[in-house]
Structure 1
Amino acid sequence: MADASVGTPEQLRDPNYTPPLAKAVPLGIQHVLAMFVSNVTPAIIVCGAAGFGFGSDSPDFPQMIYMIQMSMFFAGIATLIQTIGIGPVGARLPIVQGTSFAFIPIMIPLVAGKGVDAIAVLMGGILVGGLFHAVLGLFIGRIRFALPPLVTGLVVTMIGLALVKVGIQYAAGGVPAIGTPEYGSALNWLMAGTVILVTLGLKFFARGMLSVSAVLIGLLAGYVVAFALGQVNLGNVGRAAPFALPNPLHFGLEFSVAAVIGFCLMSFVSAVETVGDVSGITKGGAGREASDDEIRGATFADGLGTAVSGLFGALPNTSFSQNVGLIAMTGVMSRHVVTIGALFLILCGLVPKIGAVISSIPIEVLGGGVIVMFGMVVAAGVSMLSDVHWNRRNMVIFAIALSLGLGLQLEPDALQYLPGTLKVLATSGILPAAVIAIVLNLVLPQELAGESTEEVSGGLAGQGRGSLPGGGAH
């Protein structure tokens, strides 16, 4: 609900309005708290998949701190591009940018167990994918028809399903611990369970800032428990520099066909999610439809922010849907409030000690938060699917895309004779599911011969229509 002390109803709906500083600063920090955990988690997951050591004595540990640092810094830079704008780039709306979960299923196979050298391949894909994403801004409005709720809901659901295994592995002790007596121990699940329980409690029984920041506070509670149990190592915090600037081409650049194709295809999906977020912001905050210039500018900024991130060692950026909901909740449409949040993110990104503190979170504690976040991604996809009319045609498309996409991800050796690049793409889960769903949706007739929804679904066809403000999950 809007706070009348922040401004008049007309002012609150105006993106160019600046609330009093005493109100604007807390509102800006609230936006950061809502997205902070989701923003830094992908960097930790990618580093873990690549085989970076999580111990303070690991030679790769400073590289993970750097990627966490850049996740904060370039989320702030990308957000500034959206809120302030550079010519036609940027929607000049209160859009919060951050590291996208959607690309993780693409990134993990590309770096799995290959160490820090494999990160250069990611950066090459991120750079090309970001530029491709920006180009989509020229005609994004004309390609939305290819991604109805059937396709976008399936894609978001697949993103969550592809990642839930990561959450369980982290909560049980992390990938390096698999097969050891410590893996899955009661101590590990105590730390992870604390995060889950505190997060649930705050989401259901708290309001305002406590509810918005439930995952962050849950992680803090798990961190306190882990610290009391002697599971936290703060050695790297003291050794981390108090200030450091981004380093161009920190991980290098390497271009592979699999990475470029994967990031370009996911950029297509991410671009449409951004359109949904822009529409959600203008409807929820200002009660109007988004203009063509706003949608174009947001897409340009999405792509440019991602491309620049790849040059400095950060992961792909996209608009964050949780902040769309926050704008609807607070009723404050001011882009300058989000600009304040962006400046706070940039400041955090310049202080490696903050990255070192984040990297000191035990993997089990992070796992508790990841279980909640990725479960919410799946739930968001299911909510989007509730907008689908479940006739026989749509059920067949969904069934084939889900079965092949998820099945090949679970059993990648089924395609062991494919060339390396094709195998990585075909077993990513999300890409085959998305491509199959898009193609079938475009080529199959809207009504199959003799179609009868009741005969197929047993009366369980979706009659109610749900909605998810702002579209995608990140």
Structure 2
Amino acid sequence: MADASIGTPEQLRDPNYTPPLVKAVPLGIQHVLAMFVSNVTPAIIVCGAAGFGFGSNSPDFPEMIYMIQMSMFFAGIATLFQSVGFGPVGARLPIVQGTSFAFIPIMIPLVVGKGVDAMAALMGGVMIGGLFHALLGTVIGKIRFALPPLVTGLVVTMIGLALVKVGIQYAAGGVPAIGTPEYGSLQNWMVAGSVIVVTLALKFYARGMLSVSAILVGLLVGYILAWALGMVNFGNVGRAAVVALPSPFHFGFEFSMAAVVGFCLMAFVSAVETVGDVSGITKGGAGREATDKEIQGATFADGLGTAIAGVFGALPNTSFSQNVGLIAMTGVMSRTVVTIGALFLILAGLVPKVGAIISTVPIEVLGGGVIVMFGMVVAAGISMLSDVTWNRRNMVIFAIALSLGLGLQLEPGALQHLPTSVKVLATSGILPAALIAIVLNLILPAELSDESTEEMSGTFAGHDEKA
């Protein structure tokens, strides 16, 4: 519920209202706390998949610190694009931007085991995909018909399913530790489990900021336990610079067809997610529908923020749904509050020591956090699918898309004879599932929807009885 001391109900529903600073600053910090862990995690995952950054003796360790730093800095910049806006860019609403989880299943196959040299092609994809994403702002309203809850829910579910393996690997000791005696040890699982237990306890039994920041507090508890067990190394914190500016083309630029196609296709998913977040903010905070201008501006900001982030070595940005829920909970619609949060992110991104401290978090601690986060992604997808009418037509579309998408992801060797670029895209799981669902949804006759799922349920029940 909204605090009456912040403003009147009419003021709180107005995006242009500025609460007293003594209230606005804590509210802005609360937005940062709600998204902070999710924002920096993709950078750590991508660096880990590429095979660099872990361990204080790694020669590429500073590159991971830089990417973490840029994740914070450009999340702040992209948030300013949304909250302040300029020209057609930005919804001018309290939308918080952050590094997107949706692109991780696309990025991992592009960089896996290739080291820091793989970053040039990845950043090329981020830049071009971001520009394409911005262009979607001109047509986003016209293509929404091709992306019903059946498609978007399937895609979000697939994103979560593609990531849960990463969470388990991290909790057990991390990808670099696979095959070692320490991998999957009781100590590793004890540390990861402490994060999960504390997060769940706070989420369900705490209130206010403690509940909102449950994952962050859970990570802090796991971090303290890991430190007590001698798993934390502060060696790189002292060597990190106090202040450092973003470096253009830090990782270089390379054109990779697989990266460009992958990022452009995933831009559709990210754009639809942003449309949903904009609608959620206007409904939850102002009790109205989002305007076409707001949706277009938000999509422009999404894409432009991603493209600029790629230039400086950061990953794709998108709107953060957890902050949408925070606005609905606090009842404060002020975009000034989110702007204050963005400034905190920018300041943190200019201080490499912040990134160095984050990099000291043991992978097992992070694993406990991402198990919860990735599981929530799956749950969000299933929640979206609950809006689907489960007739025979939709069940067939879902079944085929899920079977092929998830199957190719689990068994990439089935496509070993395809060109490398095509194989990378197909084995991501998400893109084939999304394309199959979109195409089948557009071409299968709607008349099939008249057939009830009761017939299919009865068929399965009959098989069960025979069994």
Question: Does the pair score TM above 0.5?
Answer: yes
Task: Name 1:78's counterpart in structure 2.
Answer: 78
Using the alignment, how far apart are the partners of 1:235 and 1:375 within structure 2?
33
Using the alignment, how far apart are the partners of 1:92 and 1:374 within structure 2?
29
Deviation per CA, 1:110-157: give whole Å up to 9, x if none. Answer: 000000000111100000000000000001001000110000000000
**Aligned-pair CA distance for 1:176:** 1.2
Report SS of the residue matched to 2:183: coil
**Aligned-pair CA distance for 1:448:** 1.9
Task: Name 1:368's counterpart in structure 2.
Answer: 368
**Aligned-pair CA distance for 1:179:** 1.0
Report SS of the residue matched to 1:255: coil
Using the alignment, how far apart are the partners of 1:226 and 1:241 within structure 2?
25
> Could you tell me whether the CA contact under 8 Å between 2:53 and 2:62 is conserved in 1?
no
> Could you tell me whether the CA contact under 8 Å between 2:265 and 2:431 is conserved in 1?
yes
Deviation per CA, 1:59-111: give whole Å up to 9, x if none. Answer: 01000000000000000000001000011100000000000000000000000
Task: Name 1:203's counterpart in structure 2.
Answer: 203
Task: Name 1:13's counterpart in structure 2.
Answer: 13
**Aligned-pair CA distance for 1:452:** 2.7
Letter in 1 for 2:348: C
Report SS of the residue matched to 1:47: helix
Report SS of the residue matched to 1:236: coil
Deviation per CA, 1:159-195: give whole Å up to 9, x if none. Answer: 0000000000000001111111100000000110000
Question: Superposition pairs for residues 397-436 of structure 1, below 5 Å?
Answer: 397-436=397-436
Using the alignment, how far apart are the partners of 1:170 and 1:453 within structure 2?
40
Letter in 1 for 2:131: L
Task: Name 1:190's counterpart in structure 2.
Answer: 190
Letter in 2 for 1:318: T
For these two proteins, the number of residue pairs brought into alignment is: 461
Question: Superposition pairs for residues 53-68 of structure 1, below 5 Å?
Answer: 53-68=53-68
Change beyond 3 A, Cα 1:124–1:452? same
Task: Name 2:50's counterpart in structure 1.
Answer: 50
> Could you tell me whether the CA contact under 8 Å between 2:196 and 2:372 is conserved in 1?
yes
Using the alignment, how far apart are the partners of 1:450 and 1:218 within structure 2?
48
Using the alignment, how far apart are the partners of 1:400 and 1:453 within structure 2?
16
Task: Name 1:301's counterpart in structure 2.
Answer: 301
Report SS of the residue matched to 1:318: strand
> Could you tell me whether the CA contact under 8 Å between 1:42 and 1:100 is conserved in 2?
yes
1:227 maps to 2:230: no
Change beyond 3 A, Cα 1:432–1:4? same
Letter in 1 for 2:268: F
Using the alignment, how far apart are the partners of 1:263 and 1:53 within structure 2?
24
Question: Superposition pairs for residues 240-389 of structure 1, below 5 Å?
Answer: 240-389=240-389
Letter in 2 for 1:135: L
> Could you tell me whether the CA contact under 8 Å between 2:392 and 2:449 is conserved in 1?
no
1:176 maps to 2:176: yes
Using the alignment, how far apart are the partners of 2:449 and 2:187 within structure 1?
57
Report SS of the residue matched to 1:137: helix
Using the alignment, how far apart are the partners of 1:157 and 1:285 within structure 2?
27
Task: Name 1:212's counterpart in structure 2.
Answer: 212
Task: Name 2:463's counterpart in structure 1.
Answer: none
Using the alignment, how far apart are the partners of 1:429 and 1:217 within structure 2?
33
> Could you tell me whether the CA contact under 8 Å between 1:453 and 1:459 is conserved in 2?
no
> Could you tell me whether the CA contact under 8 Å between 1:161 and 1:378 is conserved in 2?
yes
Using the alignment, how far apart are the partners of 1:25 and 1:71 within structure 2?
22
Using the alignment, how far apart are the partners of 2:142 and 2:249 within structure 1?
35
Deviation per CA, 1:282-310: give whole Å up to 9, x if none. Answer: 00000011111111100000000000000
Using the alignment, how far apart are the partners of 2:449 and 2:364 within structure 1?
52
Using the alignment, how far apart are the partners of 1:252 and 1:409 within structure 2?
29
Letter in 1 for 2:121: V
Change beyond 3 A, Cα 1:40–1:458? farther
Question: Superposition pairs for residues 54-203 of structure 1, below 5 Å?
Answer: 54-203=54-203
Task: Name 1:437's counterpart in structure 2.
Answer: 437
Instruction: Compute the TM-score of the two structures, normalised by the length of structure 1.
Output: 0.96
Report SS of the residue matched to 1:283: helix
Letter in 2 for 1:376: M
> Could you tell me whether the CA contact under 8 Å between 2:107 and 2:122 is conserved in 1?
yes
> Could you tell me whether the CA contact under 8 Å between 2:391 and 2:449 is conserved in 1?
no
Using the alignment, how far apart are the partners of 1:457 and 1:40 within structure 2?
44
**Aligned-pair CA distance for 1:450:** 7.5
Using the alignment, how far apart are the partners of 2:376 and 2:388 within structure 1?
19
Using the alignment, how far apart are the partners of 1:34 and 1:142 within structure 2?
32
Report SS of the residue matched to 2:119: helix
Deviation per CA, 1:6-37: give whole Å up to 9, x if none. Answer: 00000000000000000000000000000000
Q: Which runs of 5+ in 1 are unaligned?
A: 461-474
Decide which moves more: 55-64 or 449-458.
449-458
Using the alignment, how far apart are the partners of 1:282 and 1:89 within structure 2?
18
> Could you tell me whether the CA contact under 8 Å between 1:83 and 1:94 is conserved in 2?
yes
**Aligned-pair CA distance for 1:459:** 10
Letter in 2 for 1:417: H
Report SS of the residue matched to 1:207: coil
Task: Name 1:40's counterpart in structure 2.
Answer: 40
Using the alignment, how far apart are the partners of 1:36 and 1:257 within structure 2?
32
Using the alignment, how far apart are the partners of 1:431 and 1:48 within structure 2?
23
Deviation per CA, 1:395-444: give whole Å up to 9, x if none. Answer: 00000000000000000000110011110011001000000000000000
Letter in 2 for 1:278: V
Using the alignment, how far apart are the partners of 1:453 and 1:10 within structure 2?
46
Change beyond 3 A, Cα 1:53–1:21? closer
Task: Name 2:465's counterpart in structure 1.
Answer: none
Using the alignment, how far apart are the partners of 2:447 and 2:253 within structure 1?
47
Using the alignment, how far apart are the partners of 1:204 and 1:216 within structure 2?
15
1:25 maps to 2:28: no
**Aligned-pair CA distance for 1:451:** 2.0
Instruction: Compute the TM-score of the two structures, normalised by the length of structure 2.
Output: 0.98
Letter in 2 for 1:295: I
RMSD of aligned residue pairs (Cα, Å):
1.2
**Aligned-pair CA distance for 1:53:** 3.8
Letter in 2 for 1:346: I
